[in-house]
Chains A and B, each alone.
Chain A
Amino acid sequence: MTEHDGTPTSRQVVTPTRVVAGLCLIAPFVAMLWVGSYAKIEPTLIGIPFFYWYQMLWVLISTALTMIAYKLVQRENRARKGGAAT
């Protein structure tokens, strides 16, 4: 966000922060749509095949990534408003 302190008024569309946030949001699509990467039984976790626990693990990973994106976007918006209230 420090990159934008110099130009608080310009409405740049692509900023480094936004690129990182975008990557956080795209990662789950790559992971989940590449079914071949997880369509297997082994290794099992407490008896549950990999196919199932891996996807459920991604619920947590994608939540964390979305949360990071949220924080990044929020921080950038605040910086843009020039540290105004809220």
Chain B
Amino acid sequence: MLPSSALAAAGTDGVNGVALTVFVLFFIAVTVMGFLAARWRKAEQSASLDEWGLGGRSFGTWVTWFLLGGDLYTAYTFVAVPAAIYAAGASGFFAVPYTILVYPMIFTFLPRLWSVSHKHGYVTTSDFVRGRFGSKGLSLAVALTGILATMPYIALQLVGIQAVLDVMGVGGGENTNWFVKDLPLLIAFAVLAAYTYSSGLRAPALIAFVKDGLIYLVIAVAIIYIPIKLGGFDAIFHAAGKAFAEPGPTGKPRGELASGPNSQWAYATLALGSALALFMYPHSITATLSSRSRNVIRRNTTILPLYSLMLGFLALLGFMAIKAGTETHGNAQLAIPQLFEDMFPSWFSGVAFAAIGIGALVPAAIMSIAAANLFTRNVYKDFLRPGATPEQEHKVAKLVSLLVKVGALVFVLSMDKTVAINFQLLGGIWILQTMPSLVGGLFTRWFHRWALLAGWAVGMVYGTLAAYGVASPTQAHFGGSSAEIPGIGQIGYIGLTAFVLNVVVTVVLTVVLRALKAPDGIDETSPGDYTADAGDKGVTPDLPPATADVPAGR
């Protein structure tokens, strides 16, 4: 019915040669950049975690903007958000209020975390929790939660690359040998692992320029070009409204164009809970701590929303896929890559696929670095080798970054995709449970370390059990992230319910423990540390001087 459908048919069956060539060219360019990044703004003494794992803590406003944007808006986001819209309509759009709420929130606490981390040389959130509450146990709980939540997130980045490879026709059919089928993914993975190992955080920081440039270009073109081809937004939403009214797998309508009265609690709690969770993730914090000054963070909260706008436009592509009749073979995740292939000329599909593919590499690299930092500082140094030198830390972190990625790869290749998605969903619920320790600790020391640990445990157990109990038409367990909120009776995000439970337990136990005069840990921070800025006394001298803010393309 569309002029391009013949081409699309050819594309799904065979390899799309032009698109693949463009994709490979971008991939090679990015690989070269990744290795060269090691020399970018290099400090004199480079074998330390500050250098490898935080890019020397030297990034200015723009580098941080690209790095954080490249980090938070992942390939999986680009695939999954429009896919959710394509599948069910309005409920998938929660990603937009979610990313709106993130920035006013982090404006209040992230500068404090930056200051105290800079003053005391903290590399991870667990470092801070240990320093603030004097509790290695609590710090270990935060670190393990972070690692556990990050692993499936990395796996999902590989799923994102897989979706693109599938649509390009190089994912292999059902009958091909597993090795041939997964070879492209293995190559992409090996390249990613190699330059992360050699360049550390500088590699994704540099590649993020390319990634975000491509993404903005592709979205801008798509949001203008595709509606014109499909007869305007009126036609698109008319078709979507009709499609959603038809019964889905449960017999009820498949979706809705605006949140109905029964889904508004779920929509709001999902947006709020996800917003609270985002900056608890280790990779968000790694990108934050790599910035040069306190003001860089504050300034970034005012320019990062540009990405949210882009995300909103991207989400609308899900409706366009409905109108275009995109064939997904039952896998909604293919909706956007397939829409691109059907709509765009081959060469531009290649650009779009490269955007998604590179969009997976940047966060995957940062996530593996963040997980490696956590392991090195809060497991290896705190428990296994207390006397580790900076060189040893550096070496261990590099190795762990490899291990984490191999783990994610094994995960993706050996298990069904839905397992990775389930774990990612659980990861969001889990990571939210570290918030009382981290954000609470940034503002007050009233919470008792044992109460925080107990609250964390209750939140983790409740969240996991509640998620286990959610069934969907295709799965008996872990079918979604929303369940009835006890006492309110509305459907809401499990993570937020668990979080409220966590806070209640923490507060009640703190009151009890304080009454019993349970011993407090030693607090190594002082109130002034939380507002210290670069240039203040004792904040910068031991760090390498930041060079001028030179962007990429050298």
Q: Which of B123-131, B300-308, B369-377, B504-512 contacts A (4 or more CB under 8 A)?
A: B300-308
> Is B264 a contact of A36 with CB atoms below 8 Å?
yes
The A/B interface has a contact count, at CB < 8 Å, of: 112
Chain B interface residue number, banded: 35 or more
CB distance from A16 to the nearest CB of B (A): 18
Among the interface residues A25, A66, A67, A70, which one has the most CB atoms of the partner chain B within 10 A? A66
Binds A, one of B103-111, B173-181, B211-219, B380-388: B103-111
Q: Do the beta carbons of A66 and B258 come within 8 Å of each other?
A: no
Stretch at the interface among B76-84, B164-172, B228-236: B228-236
Q: Which residue of B lies closest to A35 (CB)?
A: B264
A82 in the interface (beta carbon within 8 A): no
Identify A73's interface contact among B103, B271, B298, CB under 8 A: B298
Complex-state Cα separation, A69 to B313, whole angstroms: 27
Q: Are A66 and B103 in contact (CB under 8 A)?
A: yes
Q: Is the contact region of chain A dominated by helix, strand, or loop, or is it mixed?
A: helix
Question: Interface residues of B: mostly helix, strand, loop or mixed?
Answer: helix
State the CA gap A62–B301 with chains docked (Å): 10
Would you call B103 and A39 a contact (CB within 8 A)? Answer: no
Of B94-102, B183-191, B200-208, B401-409, the one contacting chain A is: B94-102
B312 at the interface (CB under 8 A from A): yes
Flag whether A14 is at the interface (Cβ < 8 A). Answer: no
Judge whether A33 and B305 touch: CB under 8 Å. no
- Residue B59 at the chain A interface, CB threshold 8 Å: no
A70 to B108, CA, bound (A): 10
Q: A8 → chain B, closest Cβ, in Å?
A: 15
The reply to whether B90 and A70 form a contact with Cβ atoms under 8 Å apart is no
Does B267 belong to the interface (CB within 8 Å)?
Answer: yes
Proximity bits, B224-268, A CB within 8 Å = 1, else 0: 000000001111110000000000000000000111110010011
Within the assembled complex, what's the spacing in Å between the Cα atoms of A44 and B235?
Answer: 13
Query: Complex formed: what's the CA distance from A67 to B105 in Å?
Result: 13
B272 at the interface (CB under 8 A from A): yes
Q: Tell yes or no: A2 within 8 A of B by CB.
A: no
B316 within 8 A of A: yes
16 A-B residue contacts at CB 8 Å? Answer: A28-B100, A28-B104, A33-B271, A38-B258, A39-B90, A39-B260, A39-B264, A47-B232, A51-B259, A58-B100, A59-B99, A60-B309, A62-B104, A66-B301, A66-B302, A67-B302
- Chain A residues engaging chain B, CB cutoff 8 angstroms: 24-26, 28-29, 32-36, 38-41, 44, 46-52, 55-56, 58-60, 62-63, 65-67, 69-70, 73-74, 86
| Top 6 closest pairs, chain A to chain B, by CB | A47-B233, A47-B234, A35-B264, A51-B258, A32-B97, A25-B104
